[in-house]
Amino acid sequence: MIDIDLIVEDDGWDALGNLEALSQRAFDAGRSVERADGTVSLLLTDDAVLQQLNKDFRGIDKVTDVLSFPALPMDRPLLGDIAVGYGISTRDAAAQGKTLADHLTHLLVHGYLHLLGHDHMQPDEAEIMEALEIAALASLGIANPYESD
């Protein structure tokens, strides 16, 4: 089971309704393809915070939609932290013709897989990670996010 420590810093996220339930559904889908138990600290915030986190931790001074920070094994049961920016997520969802709820679900599955050590920097890693994301999202009836219409 995934326990969620949810912090909502941008009121825009409230339009999605029960964020705890939406997040739990996303993490349960992630667990359906790669099982882990523990706590995820989830920050739903704004673009400025995501840009600052990206700059501070990755040396990249631009906004991004999701960041994941895996915990060390000694920090278990904490799996790690995930932060998602509202503005960029909303813009990306609209540009991709998706609902914000489905896009956030994808970002949370993506972040969860990062917490478990998956990455997409190399083509073979990306193929594995994307296949897991596609399967997790399909379990919820959400279309393949990597397939263009």
pTM: 0.96
What is the pLDDT, as a whole number, of residue 44? 98
| pLDDT at site 147 | 84
Question: Phi/psi of residue 130, each to 5°?
Answer: -65, -40
Q: Taking the CA of residue 20 as centre, how many other CA atoms within 13 Å lie in the half-sphere pointing to its CB?
A: 5
Domains contained in the chain, CATH given:
2-140 (3.40.390.30)
Residue 114 counted as an annotated binding residue: yes
Spans of the chain below 70 pLDDT: 148-149
CA distances from 131 to 12, 20, 41, 85, 126 (A): 30, 25, 25, 24, 8
121 vs 78: CA distance, rounded Å:
24
Query: Does 103 appear as a known binding residue?
Result: no
- The confidence score (pLDDT) of residue 149 equals 54
